[in-house]
Amino acid sequence: MHDWAAPLIAAALFAFLSPGLVIQLPGKNHPVGFMNMQTSLASIFVHAVLYFLFLILFLLVLHIHIYA
């Protein structure tokens, strides 16, 4: 049996935390932008830090496993 939690969680977080897709922190004109499909270097950095923190939370702190 293989543990599929890491690739599934990483792919889902990558999709949802892409800057400008669903939410953008910080936004261009506002602190938070929604579905504007634009990005900046600051938002890329913030989303990368959030991606890392959520990935650590799910995989190392909560020990989520999906076996198939």
Domain membership of residue 24 (yes or no) is: yes
Q: What integer pLDDT is reported at residue 36 of this predicted model?
A: 78
Which pLDDT score, from 0 to 100, does residue 56 have? Answer: 94
67 assigned to some structural domain: no
Range of the domain at 11: 5-61
**34 in a domain, yes or no?**
yes
User: CA-CA distance, 1 to 38, in Å (whole number)?
Assistant: 41
The answer to the question of residue 39 being in a domain is: yes
**47 falls within a domain:** yes
Q: Could you tell me if residue 11 is inside a domain?
A: yes
Query: Does any domain span residue 68?
Result: no
Handedness of CA 26, 14, 6, 48 (dihedral sign): negative
| Per-residue pLDDT tens digits of the chain, which is 68 residues long | 789 999 999 999 999 888 888 888 887 777 787 777 778 888 889 999 999 999 999 999 999 888 87
* Within-domain flag for 27: yes
- Which pTM does this prediction carry? 0.81
In Å, how far are 15, 19, 46, 49, 61 from 35, measured between CA atoms? 13, 9, 16, 20, 30
